[in-house]
Amino acid sequence: MMYYSTNGKAPDATLAKAVVNGLAEDRGLYMPRSIKKLPQAFFEQIQDLTFQELSCTVADAFFGEDIPADALHKMVCDTLSFDCPVVRVEDGIYALELFHGPTLAFKDVGARFMARMLGHFAGGREINVLVATSGDTGSAVANGFLGVEGVRVFVLYPKGKVSPIQECQFTTLGGNITALEIDGCFDDCQALVKNAFMDEALRAALPLTSANSINVARFLPQAFYYFNAYARLREQGFGGQPVICVPSGNFGNLCAALFGAEMGLPVRRFIAANNANRVFFDFLQNGVYTPRPSLQTLANAMDVGDPSNFARIWELYGRSVDAIRARIGGCTVDDATIAATIRECLASTHYLLDPHGACGYRALKDGLQEGETGIFCETAHPAKFKEKVEAITGAEVLVPERLAAFMRGQKQSVALGKDYQGFRNYLTDTLL
C-alpha cells in the first residue's frame, strides 16, 4: 500500500516510510491510496469472532501487503492484551469502554500498536520518538514504548496544564522515556515537534519520528475496537446500524472510526463531540475551518484548537463540506454541561462518566433519534480525573491499582521554554 500526503506536494511513501517519518515532507498527513472493503460475510459472522480475531482481519486489510501475516497478527495480539467492552448505560445507549489498558485511556491501543510496528520497521537502528501531549497521549506512548530497545521517547507536555495523575504516568517511568515540561500550552508543544520534523539539518543528524495521532500506525489501529463494538452488539441480538459518537480533540479516534465505515462497518452516522474547543462544530455550521487557540476545559485531553486529523477527514470525503455533514454531526459541550451531565448520568443510571466521556454521552443523548441505538466512547477512566470528578459528584472515585502504582513513583522531568532553538539545543546536547 502506498501513502500520499494530504498537502499533495510530497512523493508517495511506503508504509515503512510513513510510519518512521510520521509527517510527510510537505507537512501533510499520510493517507492510504485506497481503503479495502471487507466482505459482507465478515460482518454477518463478526459476532462469532473474538476481539483479537476480528482485529487481525482488519489489520490485514490495512497493513497485510506490507507486513508478513504472522508478524502482523503478533502485533495485534500483543497490543490487545486487554478488552474494550461495550457496556449498556441505559436503553439505546452503550459505552464503548476504552480505558482497560495500562494507562486507562484509549490511546493505549494506538500507542502499543505503533511501538510494535516501529520496532518492526526500525530493524535495529536507534530512533527517537517525539510526542506532544495534552495529557493522555504522553502516558500512552511512554508506556507503549517503555523498554522497547533502540527507541528513545521524548514527551513534551504543557507545564501546569495536565492533571497530576496524568503527569505521573509519563514522568515516573525513567529508562528510555524522558519527560519535557514546556512553559507553554499544548499547541506550543505540538509546534515544537512539528518544527523539529521540518528541521532538515536536525533530522540529518538524528533519526526522529512522531507518535502523535498523525502517525498512520497510531490512528488506524484505533479502528479495531469499533469493529469489536459492532460485533459485541450483534452478539447481544442487535441487528441494526449504531450511531457512533466520539469525544474528539485531534480527531484521530473519530478518523479511525470513519475509516472503519469506509471498509464496510455498518454505522448509521457519526457524532463528533467537542468540548468548548468547537472548531469542528463551527465548521459544520458555517462550512469554514477556522483554527483557534485552545481553551482549557474539564475535558483537557480534547483542548485542541487546530485538530490535526481534520486534514484526513477533509480528504476522506473528497473535500466536500456537504459530504462531511451527511455523515458526521457535531456538538459542543461546555464545562457547566459536562459537570451537570456527570451528575445526571450517575443519578439516573449509576454509570460514572469521566469529563471526556461526558461530552460523548451528552452529544449522543441529545442527538439520538427515536428508535436509534448509539455507542459513545468512554475514552478514559474517571479516576484519571479524580479531583475534578469528585468535586462534581461529591463522592469518592476509587483508583484502580495500576493507576495508584504510577502515583507512588518519583517525578523526573526537564523544564524547557517554548522557543524552538532551546528545544533544538536540548536535543542535540542530549543525543549527539
> Footprint of ligand PLP on residues 340-369 (CB under 6 A)?
356
Joined together, the cell numbers standing for residue 358 give 461526558
Residue from 105, 142, 233, 352 binding ligand PLP (CB under 6 A): 105
Mode of pairing for the β-strands spanning 30-32 and 3-5: antiparallel
> Please, which residue, 209 or 309, has the CB nearer to ligand PLP?
309
> Please, which residue, 72 or 298, has the CB nearer to ligand PLP?
298
> Footprint of ligand PLP on residues 278-337 (CB under 6 A)?
301-302
> Please, which residue, 32 or 110, has the CB nearer to ligand PLP?
110
Mode of pairing for the β-strands spanning 127-132 and 151-158: parallel
Instruction: Tell the smallest beta-carbon distance from residue 157 to ligand PLP (Å).
Output: 13
Instruction: Tell the smallest beta-carbon distance from residue 255 to ligand PLP (Å).
Output: 7
What mask, x for binding ligand PLP by CB under 6 A, covers residues 233 to 252?
Answer: --------------xxxxxx
- The alpha-helical segments, DSSP class H, found in 287-400 are 310-316, 321-327, 335-349, 355-367, 386-393
In angstroms, how far is CA 149 from the centroid of its own chain? 24
Residue pair 96/229 in contact by the 8 Å Cβ criterion? yes
Q: Which helix (H) or strand (E) holds 377?
A: strand 374-378
Cα–Cα distance for residue pair 263/194, rounded to 1 Å: 30
Cα–Cα distance for residue pair 307/291, rounded to 1 Å: 8
What's the sign of the alpha-carbon dihedral 15, 18, 19, 21?
A: positive
Instruction: Tell the smallest beta-carbon distance from residue 291 to ligand PLP (Å).
Output: 15
Cα–Cα distance for residue pair 133/131, rounded to 1 Å: 6
Q: Does 28 engage in binding with ligand PLP (CB under 6 A)?
A: no
> Please, which residue, 57 or 274, has the CB nearer to ligand PLP?
274
Residue from 5, 21, 190, 379 binding ligand PLP (CB under 6 A): 379
Instruction: Tell the smallest beta-carbon distance from residue 170 to ligand PLP (Å).
Output: 13
Residue from 107, 116, 152, 418 binding ligand PLP (CB under 6 A): 107
> Please, which residue, 57 or 103, has the CB nearer to ligand PLP?
103
Cα–Cα distance for residue pair 96/87, rounded to 1 Å: 6
| Number of other CB atoms surrounding residue 11 within 10 Å | 11
Instruction: Tell the smallest beta-carbon distance from residue 105 to ligand PLP (Å).
Output: 5
Residue pair 316/362 in contact by the 8 Å Cβ criterion? no
Residue from 213, 274, 332, 337 binding ligand PLP (CB under 6 A): 213
Instruction: Tell the smallest beta-carbon distance from residue 49 to ligand PLP (Å).
Output: 25
Site for ligand PLP (CB under 6 A): how many residues?
18
- In 61-212, DSSP assigns E strands to 86-90, 93-97, 127-132, 151-158, 177-182, 208-210
Residue from 173, 220, 244, 380 binding ligand PLP (CB under 6 A): 380
Cα–Cα distance for residue pair 203/314, rounded to 1 Å: 29
Instruction: Tell the smallest beta-carbon distance from residue 383 to ligand PLP (Å).
Output: 12
Instruction: Tell the smallest beta-carbon distance from residue 244 to ligand PLP (Å).
Output: 13
Residue with CB nearest ligand PLP?
136
> Please, which residue, 79 or 250, has the CB nearer to ligand PLP?
250
Instruction: Tell the smallest beta-carbon distance from residue 300 to ligand PLP (Å).
Output: 9
Coil, strand or helix: which one is 164? helix
Residue from 79, 190, 212, 253 binding ligand PLP (CB under 6 A): 253
- The alpha-helical segments, DSSP class H, found in 175-278 are 186-198, 200-205, 216-219, 224-235, 252-262
> Footprint of ligand PLP on residues 67-96 (CB under 6 A)?
none
Q: Say which residue the cell 500506525 belongs to.
A: 217
| Number of other CB atoms surrounding residue 299 within 10 Å | 28
What mask, x for binding ligand PLP by CB under 6 A, covers residues 135 to 164?
Answer: xx----------------------------
Q: Which residues bind ligand PLP (CB under 6 A)?
A: 105, 107, 135-136, 213, 247-254, 301-302, 356, 379-380
